Amino acid sequence: MDPSDFYTGIVPDVYTALRGAHFDATRYREFVREHGEPALELGCGDDGPFFALVADGLDVEGVDSSADMVARGRRRLEAEGRDARIHHQRMEQLSLNRSFASIYLAGPTFNLLPDDATAAKVLAAIARHLQPNGAALLPLWTPHPTQAEQLGVVNSTIIGESTAQYTVLSEDYDEAARTRTTVLRYELNSAGVHTVEDREWIIHWYSGDDFRQLAEAARLDVEFTRISDDQVEAVLRRAESGL
């Protein structure tokens, strides 16, 4: 399956229901206010910090590779009476007629890129769209393997009169390739109809040196801030040689 097709069908409904709370927009709001507008969220979906920042009146645009998520996000903006743009583009093929003072990805979005080659293209696209004095924020995550006792366990919640379920079926954790490939099952029981969707979820991670090399190849300087044992924030700025 193409990565852009992951959040299609029942998957967004089940994922949102089981995740519960919305993204906390605080860090991204602070980042945009520090580095300026206009701002761009890559991978905004239908529930990213983008929507909170738009509600704050900030000049921010969104991008998502999933046609389903773009449609859902646009419907949400319309329902909330917001005037903002969500573009349907892949991050690695980003081509907007505008540059941005602030660019960010929320949560582990950058880790959804399947390999270093795709990540390099995304970083180059960020560099092309970043204003000379602007900055980009990328949270980076190093996942742990899913515990064996969690495989096959059904997680469920109620959505109105429907039941949403999520199960980890299997997993391949490859430290050499820096990938965790998890087979997931999403289920929705609604009005007597039982719908099942299986998805392969690939998380690709980076050491500090790996990521720095990719950033420097895109003519971006990077500063890391450690958030926890398995999370860091990377702040990117255009290198002087790339101006």
- Tell whether 155 and 192 lie within a shared domain: yes
Q: How far is CA 107 from the centre of its chain?
A: 6
pLDDT for 242 equals 46
Q: What is the pLDDT of residue 241?
A: 54
Residue 165: C-alpha distances to residues 23, 112, 172, 190, 233 (Å): 21, 22, 22, 12, 32
How far is 241 from 59, CA to CA, in rounded Å?
A: 29
Q: Do 67 and 169 share a domain, yes or no?
A: no
- Alpha-carbon gap, residue 163 to 157, rounded angstroms: 6
| C-alpha of 97 from chain center | 22
**Tokens 């299609």 belong to residue:** 8
Residues 138 and 152 in one domain: no
Same domain, 89 and 196: no
Residues 60 and 10 in one domain: yes
CATH value at residue 172:
2.20.130
CB atoms within 10 A of CB 25: 18
The identity of residue 142, as a single letter, is T
Per the CB < 8 A criterion, the answer to whether 162 and 188 are in contact is yes
Cα end-to-end distance, the chain, whole Å: 38
Whether residues 46 and 118 fall in one domain = yes
C-alpha distances (whole Å) from 58 to each of 15, 53, 86, 100 are: 27, 6, 14, 13
In the chain, where does DSSP find H-type helix?
A: 11-19, 26-35, 49-55, 67-80, 116-129, 208-217
**Cβ–Cβ < 8 Å for 34, 229:** no
> Could you tell me how far CA 56 lies from the centroid of its own chain?
21
Number of domains in the chain: 2
Residues 132 and 33 in one domain: yes
- CA 93/CA 119 separation, integer angstroms: 11
- Consecutive 10-residue averages of pLDDT for the chain (243 residues): 77 76 85 98 93 97 94 95 96 96 94 96 98 97 95 89 92 96 93 91 95 97 96 94 48
Q: Is there a single domain that holds both residue 19 and residue 49?
A: yes
- CA–chain centroid gap for 217, Å, is 22
pLDDT value at position 7? 79
Residue span of the structural domain in which 106 resides: 3-142+206-242
Q: What is the pTM of this model?
A: 0.91
Judge whether 90 and 65 are in contact, CB under 8 Å: yes
- 85 and 123 in a single domain? The answer is yes
CATH number of the domain bearing residue 102: 3.40.50.150
Residues 75 and 183 in one domain: no
Give yes or no: residues 59 and 134 share one domain: yes
Q: Are residues 25 and 135 in the same domain?
A: yes
